Chains A and B, each alone.
Chain A
Amino acid sequence: MVDRINSLGMNDHGGCALHAEHLSHHYGQRTALDDVSLDIGVGETFALLGPNGGGKTTLFKLLSTSMPVQAGTLEIFGIGVRNAPLDVRRQIGVVFQSPSLDKKLSVRENLLHHARLYGMARSEYLPRMEETLSLLGLADRLRDRVEQLSGGLARRVEIAKSLLHGPRLLILDEPSTGLDPAARSDLWKYLASLKESGVTLLTTTHLMDEAEQGDRVGILHQGKLVALGSPAVLRSQIGGEVVSIHSAEPDALANMLLQHWEIKAEIRGGLVRFEHPTGFDLLPEILDFARGKVESLSVSRPTLEDVFLQRTGHRFWGDIEHG
C-alpha cells in the first residue's frame, strides 16, 4: 500500500492518515467550516466532538468524499481528495449515521454488493467477509435479512460492510445514534478491537463520554476547531473543580453565591453550576449558609463539556439553532 501511495507521487505527511489544511466550506452565504487544519496519525482514534450544526457533518461529508472540497487541502494517506477521489475511496471505510444497508437483502447479499462495488474478486472478498463478520460477532447472521436485525446488530453489519475492502481509515458519523446503552458499549468494544488491528478511526459525536474514548479529541464549534488534544490534557487545562447544586430556588442561590463568595454561577433549569479551584472545600460553607436552598449537590472534575463551555463561551446544548 505504501508503495502504491508513493508511486502516485503524493506526500506522506510523516505517517499521517489524514491531513487537512485550511479547510473551509460554505453553503451559499453560510459558513459551515471555517479554516480547519487537522492532522490525524496512523493508528490513532480521533473523536470529532461538537453540537449539532457545529460543522461535524460537513467535515464528515468532505472526508467521506460525499461532497467535493471547496477550499483548502485534504489528503488521506497522502492522496489528495481533490485529485484522486477514487484512490482515496479505496483507502477509507465510511459508516454513515443513517443506515446504508438494503433492508430487503440479507447480510451476505449486502456485503456481496459492497465487495463488487469496490471491485473485489470472489477470492478476495470471501475470506474478508468471514474475517470481518467474526471480528464483529456476526458470523451466524449471514443469512438474516437486515430488516429482521436489531439496531445494534444492524449497526455492526454496517461497520462490517465498511471494513470489507480493508480500509486503513474508518470514518464513522455518530455511530451510536439510536443504540441503547448496552449496544453502545458493545460498539465501542468492537471499535477498540479494530484499533488493535491497526485501523485508524475517526468518529464524529455529540456525546461527551464517547469523545472520551478517543486518543485525541477535536471540538468543532460554529465551523471552527476550538480545541484539539487528548481528553485528559484538555480537561487539565480547565483547572479546579466543577460544583453543581440542584435547588428549588436557583436564582436566590446564585445571588447568594455572588454576594458571599463572589462566585459567578450559571443557572440551567433547577441546576446552579460553577467552577472553583477548591470547590470541594467550599461545600461545608455553602451548606452552612444555604442549606434550605440545596436539594442535592455534587463536585466533579471538569468534563469535555466544561472544556467546550470554556473555549466557546457557549453551553454545549445551548445554541443548536446556530450553523
Chain B
Amino acid sequence: MANAFSVRPLRPRAGILAAWTLAEREVVRFLRQPNRVIGALGQPIIFWVFLGLGLRGSFRPQTPSGSVPYDQYFFPGVLAMIVLFTAIFSTISIIEDRREGFLQGVLVAPVERFWIVLGKVVGGTVLALLQSIVFLTLAPLAGIPLSLLGVLTTVLLLAVLGIALTSLGSVLAWRTDSVQGFHAVMSILLFPMWFLSGSVFPLEGAPTWLAWVVRLNPLTYGVAGIRRLLAIGGDSSLIPESVASLSVSIPITIGFAVVTFLWATRSARRY
C-alpha cells in the first residue's frame, strides 16, 4: 500500500540529530556485544590467512608482470567481505529492531524516513570502516606496502562501498520480516555477489558467461577500486589486466551507492 502521508520539506537540523542518534546507537550496540566484535575482527583474518595461505601454493593469478601470490590477490577481496558482512549485520539489526519493537517507536517519531535510513546506513558504514582499518594494518604482511595516500583513498572508497552495501541491505531488510528469510536472500544474492566480484578469482580464465556476470556486478568495481588504490606507492604491475581502472571503478561505485541509498529511502517510505 502506498503511503498516503504527504511529503513535507525535510527539516535538516532535527533530521541530522535523529540520524546521528541512530548511528551512535548502532556503534554502541556493536561495541557492547563482545562476541560480535571478536567475530567481526576474527572472521576476515581467518578467511584471509587460511584461504590465502592455503591457495597460495596452487593458485597464482596472472598479471602483466607475471603473477601475484594468492594471499596478496585475496587481500582487497577480504576488505570487500568485511564491508559486505557489516552491511549484512546492520541489515539484520533492522529486522531485529522491528521484531524486538525498537523500530515501531522510531517510526512514530516526528522524523522523515530519509533520516532514519541515513542513520542506519551511516552507523553500518562506520562499523565497516572501523573493522576495515584494523584489517588494513595487516596489508604489509600480504606484501602490500602501505602509503598514506593509498590508505586514505582506500578508506574513502570503503566508506562509499559501505554506504552502497548497507543501503542494499536496508532495501532487503524493509521487505523481509524474519532473520531466516533474510538468510535465504543472503545465500543466493549477497554471497554470490561477493564471489563474483573479482574478490576471490580474477576474470582471466573464467568462462565467458561468468566473466559477464562479474562485469555486470556493481561490487566488482568497488573491489577493483580498492585493489588499485591500495597499490598506490606499490607495484601496480601485480594487478591482473582485467581489473577495471580507477576512472571506471570509482564513478561506478559512487553511482552504486547513490542508487542503492535512494532505493533504500524509497523502500523505507513504503514499509
Q: Check: A213 CB closer than 8 A to any chain B CB.
A: no
0/1 interface trace, chain B 24-68, chain A, CB 8 Å (1 if under): 010011001100000000000000000000000000000000000
Q: Check: B102 CB closer than 8 A to any chain A CB.
A: yes
Q: List, in ascending order, chain A residues with CB within 8 A of B102's CB.
A: 100-102
Q: Check: B110 CB closer than 8 A to any chain A CB.
A: yes
Q: List, in ascending order, chain A residues with CB within 8 A of B20's CB.
A: 116
In the assembled complex, the CB of B37 is this many whole angstroms from the nearest CB of chain A, namely 13
Of the candidate stretches A79-87, A232-240, A243-251, the one touching chain B is A79-87
Of the candidate stretches B4-12, B172-180, B202-210, B253-261, the one touching chain A is B4-12
Chain B contact patch, size range: 20 to 34
CB <8 Å contact, B105 and A96: yes
Complex Cα–Cα for A100 and B103 (A): 7
For A119, give the chain B residue with the smallest CB separation: B14
Complex Cα–Cα for A112 and B28 (A): 13
A interface size (C-beta, 8 A): 34
CB <8 Å contact, B8 and A68: no
CB <8 Å contact, A68 and B1: yes
CB <8 Å contact, A68 and B4: yes
In the assembled complex, the CB of B108 is this many whole angstroms from the nearest CB of chain A, namely 5
CB <8 Å contact, B5 and A85: yes
Q: Check: B109 CB closer than 8 A to any chain A CB.
A: yes
Q: List, in ascending order, chain B residues with CB within 8 A of A101's CB.
A: 101-102, 105
Q: Check: A312 CB closer than 8 A to any chain B CB.
A: no
CB <8 Å contact, A105 and B29: yes
Q: List, in ascending order, chain A residues with CB within 8 A of B3's CB.
A: 68
Q: Check: A13 CB closer than 8 A to any chain B CB.
A: no
For A27, give the chain B residue with the smallest CB separation: B1
CB <8 Å contact, B18 and A83: no
For B107, give the chain A residue with the smallest CB separation: A66
Complex Cα–Cα for A66 and B17 (A): 22
Q: List, in ascending order, chain A residues with CB within 8 A of B104's CB.
A: 66, 96, 98, 100
A residues sitting closer than 8 Å to B (CB atoms) are: 64-66, 68-70, 82-87, 89-90, 92, 94, 96, 98-105, 109, 112-114, 116-119, 161
> Which 8 A-B residue pairings sit nearest by Cβ, starting from the closest?
A119-B14, A100-B105, A116-B21, A68-B4, A117-B109, A89-B110, A86-B110, A98-B101
B residues sitting closer than 8 Å to A (CB atoms) are: 1, 3-6, 8, 11, 13-14, 17-18, 20-22, 25, 28-29, 32-33, 100-102, 104-112
